[in-house]
A and B are shown apart, each in its own frame.
Chain A
Amino acid sequence: MPTLNHFLVLSGLLFAIGTAGVFLRRNLITILLSIEIMLNAVNLTFVAVGRHLGTVDGQIITFFVMTVAAAEAAVGLAIVIQLFRLRESLNPDAFTSLKW
């Protein structure tokens, strides 16, 4: 029977994987996916904690986070597509008009 701590450790791991992905991967789509992993780690935390506390708040908040994540993904993909049209590349290191 998994306890709260199991869920927290799992979500912590997922969050760390997402964080590492944002800084280590060199493909914009993978970076966007890493951010999604981070947000889903947060969702897991909310649901697990909500269940532990015996309230539905955590599960409701998850829907808010999912909505926000969807809005962010829409804007993010639009930005990536526009950049790809201009630069024909998905490698963030290729974008050097500004000092990174």
Chain B
Amino acid sequence: MQVVPTMADMAWLAPELTLTVGLLILLIGGLFVPRDRQSAIVWAGFVVLGATLAALVPQAGRDVTIANGVFAVDGFAVFIKVIAIVAAMITLETSRHWLTIEGVRATEYVVLVMTATLGMMVMASGVDLVTMFIGLETMAVSFYVMVGYLKPNRRSNEAALKYFVLGTFSTGVLIYGMAWTYGLAGSTRIADIAIAAASPEGSIVAWRFAIMLLVAGLGFKIAAVPFHMWAPDVYEGAPTPIASFLSVGSKAASFAMLIRLMLEAFPSASSDWRSALYVLAALSMTVGNIAAMTQNNLKRLLAYSSIAHAGYVTIGLVAATPRGISASLVYIAVYACMQMGAFAIVTALRQKGVPGEELHEFSGLAHRRPWMAFAMLIFMIALGGIPPTAGFMGKMWLFGAAIDSGYVWLAVIGVANSVLSVYYYARVVMWMWMTPQESEAPLPIAPSMAIAISLAAAAVIIGGLFPDQLFTWAESSARALGVVSVAPALTLR
């Protein structure tokens, strides 16, 4: 057995190595950058992430497992990695102006965004429980620090504490599930676990226990009901760009891990985890949307909306067909654009002495900044799932996949929830257009912010008008998962 990583293996790790070397150089180099030149660090971080994205290009369409079978370079991993890296780049761009308003140091901030991205990339590629766990923790520990980055701010600190306590607790649950899986399967490799689970030795109850622990642990990370209670508070207290990165990057990577674990490690137990995820999806959509209706803080509203969207994405995994998984992947990508765009506008409203988070602070935005209000309108109708946006196409595929697999009622719950959700997204639009503006203060927007918002809005519209490209890419990515077609009747005997 070859244990030493060969040079060929190292070549496959090019994106991760680029990012690691880049962030280490930034961490040390940042010490020598004067305080008034902090913007240079954000640029450097942006360039390193760009280089990482470029290093990912040759891996498109490949399917290999390296490093002694613990690290997969396949279409599925590449898809998630692209989302994670682009989300990190948008986070940096939207943070540039915000960092000067808050007056915090940029170096650690940029480096932490990059370490979190590195964790997400390892999560997307891990095909071994330990690799996945290390990736998850690299990401989570970075986020604990980032959520509490505004040290003198009480809310930021409280959010960090809450995220830390519930995050480490969920880590404990997840790793306990991994310990049981390891004990039952005799290996931590996903491929070996699948073989062991196909003809399970030992108690079926123990297998179910292990799977439920894994689902619960990851349920926390994707903020699915009933493991969602941290999300609104953490998003509200966290720095706005970080809340946006948390709701998109962390969720996408955790979904990648959940999808890979369920489909590749436990295809033989599909009826068990499908019924568990069915309940999670239905609860997340309903609770998330109903709770979002009464929120007056935009960040809390988006938090509940992100809980609901975790429910929508789970529908594809419940269907567990190639179509369902590719619909989930499409929706994760679409959700990333809508959510980051909406959060970017909340970040843009943050000015000296103005929090810019409450709904009433959006009053009259259509007169103060017409194009910004228009972009927000696009994000809101996309999140609500109204054509001609990508949000509509994504939902259509998800519900279609659910009906194909015989989960008609889940699709009905999903459609009903989409209708419900339009109410609170429309509320935001009402405030922007129908109410007189409260403040006459100028609202300067940094060019980088304007570009990020415009790109996200354009992506949402283009994705809605010409969705075929994205769907084809997602379909080929989903095909990379070996055992994507699981027969619905299979179960643990």
Contact = CB atoms under 8 A, between A and B. Distances in A.
Interface footprint category on B: 35 or more
A83 B141 contact: no
Given A49-B182, A61-B188, A71-B141, A79 B176 contact: no
Interface string A15-47: 100110010000010010001001101100110
B144 A75 contact: yes
Nearest to B157: A83
A74 B233 CA distance: 23
Interface string B128-170: 0010011001000100110010011011011111101100110
Contacts of B161: 28, 79-80, 83, 92, 95
A45 B133 contact: no
Interface footprint category on A: 35 or more
Contact of B237 (A18, A39, A42, A97): A97
A100 B172 contact: no
A29 to B, nearest CB: 12
Contacts of B183: 8, 45, 49, 52-53
A43 B151 CA distance: 33
22 contacts: A8-B183, A35-B168, A41-B176, A42-B172, A46-B182, A49-B182, A49-B183, A52-B183, A57-B188, A64-B130, A64-B134, A68-B134, A68-B141, A72-B168, A75-B164, A76-B164, A82-B157, A83-B158, A86-B152, A92-B165, A98-B155, A98-B233
Contacts of B182: 46, 49, 57-58, 61
Contacts of A46: 179, 182
Contacts of A79: 144, 148, 157, 160-161, 164
Given A42-B175, A99-B232, 9 more contacts: A19-B169, A38-B169, A38-B176, A45-B180, A55-B186, A61-B188, A72-B137, A83-B158, A83-B161
A6 interface: no
Contacts of B93: none
A75 B141 contact: yes
Secondary structure of the A contact surface, majority rule: helix
A83 B164 CA distance: 13
Given A75-B141, A98-B158, A42 B164 contact: no
B191 to A, nearest CB: 15
Nearest to B159: A98
Interface in A62-100: 64-65, 68, 71-72, 75-76, 78-80, 82-83, 86-87, 92, 95, 97-100
Given A35-B168, A42-B176, A86 B137 contact: no
Closest 9 CB pairs between A and B? A49-B183, A38-B172, A45-B179, A98-B233, A68-B137, A95-B158, A97-B155, A35-B168, A97-B154
Contact of A82 (B151, B162, B169, B233): B151
